[in-house]
Every structure is written in C-alpha cells, then in structure tokens.
Amino acid sequence: MTELTSRTWTVHEQDGTLYFTVPSFEKTGLVRHGFSSRLGGFSKEPYGLNFGITGGDDPETLLCNYRKMAGILGCEAEDMVVSAQVHGTEVLRVGREDRGKGVTRPREITGIDGLITNEPDVCLVTIHADCVPVYLLDPVKKAIGLAHAGWRGTAAQIAALTVRRMQEEFGTEPADLIAAIGPSIGPDCFECGEELIPEFEKTFGAEAERFFRKAETPGKYYGDLWEANRAALSGCGVRPERVTVTDLCTACRPDVFHSYRKTKTPGRMAAFLELKGAE
C-alpha cells in the first residue's frame, strides 16, 4: 500500500485501488461515499484511475474505472450522475430518472457544479484535479449534496449555495448537516495572484483577507481554499464541529493524486456520494 496517512480522512486500499472516506459519514450508516486517487485504475498513464469525461481517455476504459469504483462502494455505475462542470455556482436536484447520465448514458447535464438529491440509490459524482469536493449529508431529512469548488466556486460560496438549495428542496436545517471538505490543493500549494482577493471579498467581505498569505514571489499569495469553504459552511449555519476538513493536498502528492497545478495531468479523480436504499 502507498504510504499515506491522514488525521481526518480514512485511507483505504482495495484490489490495488486507493481511496478515501470520512469517518463521520461512515458512522451514520446512511450513505455510500468516497474520494478516489489516481491509483488502481485500468487507464494507461498518465491517466491511471481516471474519471475525467473530456480528457481524451478511452471511453470503454473510462467506464471500467467507474465500474470498479462502483463495485468498491457497493453501488452500480448505472446509478451514477455526472455533470459537465464549468466552475460555476449552479446547483441541480437530480433523481432516479437521471441515473447513468454522464457514465452509462449520454451526458445531458451541463453547466452544473453542485448536485443534490433525497432519493436513495442515486450516486452523485463530481470530478476533480485540485478543486475542492464538498460533501453534505442531512441525516434528519435523509438528503445529500455534493459540490465542485475550484477557486471561483469557492469565492462564490458554492458550498453555502448547495446548503441553501437543500433547505429549499428538502427542508434541511443547516445545523443538522454533516459536512466534509475533501482532498484538494492545500494552503501551502495554491499560489495565486492578488487579483483573486477582491473576488473573495465580494462574498466574504473583510473576512476574505485571512484566506490569503503572501508568498515568496512578489505579488503572489497562497490561498486557503479549505478554510474558505469551511467558513462558507459555518456562515450559513453548519456547525463547525460537524465539518471534517481534509489534510490531504493533491499538489503535494502527485504520486497519489491527479494534480493539474503540479503536473498538468489529464487524469481526474472523483467524489462519490449516495444515499443507501432499503437493504
């Protein structure tokens, strides 16, 4: 097994596939979930374990990767729903009629970076290669949400927007939510220009300053997308003690993760979240 540890996420290896889960989600027994690595797939390098629909990988091999991860999680590739993400803020409610879209059926959902559902056996999937996956579980109303938060989505608080859609659609109380911020580029690796700071100030106000610290390169900063997403969740009523924040930086470990910033890899990882049905 590849040497990798985490204080906040559980590291698993099954059939050569390395993946990660959140202890707080596992304890509920309500969901199947996970976040993939680049290890253990059927695709040739530089893809490895790849879930990117538009990166040029062979479609049949790509489907084999989805089927392998589905088998590990205990669901079916036909249950999965994938959108063509655009680093935006649109959140869509999906259901059983959407199962398979983007995986075993044509990709009909476009321009969506957040997915929510309260229907069991519908596996929400978002695609990542440094961007932040945000997992949401309402154990009271039995509803889930999954968001793809790059720096643009983080600045626009897609995490909070996904919570609000769950409030509107399912009557979710933010204080009931269990949330997790998944493996993604960390605060020591996300170097950016100062022009990003005003984008965060539009939604976070003066609080945005604490998400950035000066880098060694003049005019450059390091941005903390983990803390910004945590703050967005806290700001909309999610209890801080119910948010698990990753300590796994994708750019620090390109041997384990696809990292576009670090290696320009065409491969992509995926976040998976599904409500369990009656067993």
pLDDT in tens, the chain (279 residues): 578 999 999 999 999 999 999 999 999 999 999 999 999 999 988 899 999 987 788 999 999 999 999 999 999 999 999 999 999 999 999 999 999 999 999 989 999 999 999 999 999 999 999 999 999 999 999 999 999 999 999 999 999 999 999 999 999 999 999 999 999 999 999 999 999 999 999 999 999 999 999 999 999 999 999 999 999 999 999 999 999 999 999 999 999 999 999 998 889 999 999 999 876
Structure tokens at 134: 């945000």
Residue 135 bridge partners (DSSP): 146, 180
* CA nearest neighbour of 85 among 63, 109, 103: 109
Contact between 170 and 150 under an 8 Å Cβ cutoff? The reply is no
pLDDT at 107: 86
Residues contacting residue 205 through CB under 8 Å, at least 6 positions apart: none
pLDDT at 61: 94
- The CA–CA distances, whole Å, from 85 to 33, 36, 92, 116, 120 equal 20, 18, 12, 15, 23
Residue 250, Ramachandran bin (φ over 0: left; ψ between -120 and 50: alpha; else beta): alpha
pLDDT at 57: 87
* CA nearest neighbour of 166 among 229, 98, 236, 231: 236
Q: Could you say which DSSP state residue 241 is in? A: G
Find out whether the peptide bond into 254 is cis, omega within 30 degrees of 0: no
Domain 10-275: give its CATH code: 3.60.140.10
Q: What are the backbone angles phi and psi of residue 214, rounded to the nearest 5°?
A: -65, 140
CA gap 201, 123 in Å, rounded: 34
pLDDT at 208: 97
Structure tokens at 239: 């209890």
Per-domain residue ranges of the chain: 10-275
Structure tokens at 155: 């600045």
pLDDT at 56: 82
Strands ordered across the beta sheet of 132-138? 91-93, 114-117, 143-149, 132-138, 178-181, 243-245
Q: What are the backbone angles phi and psi of residue 37, rounded to the nearest 5°?
A: -110, -165
pLDDT at 1: 55
pLDDT at 279: 62
pLDDT at 238: 98
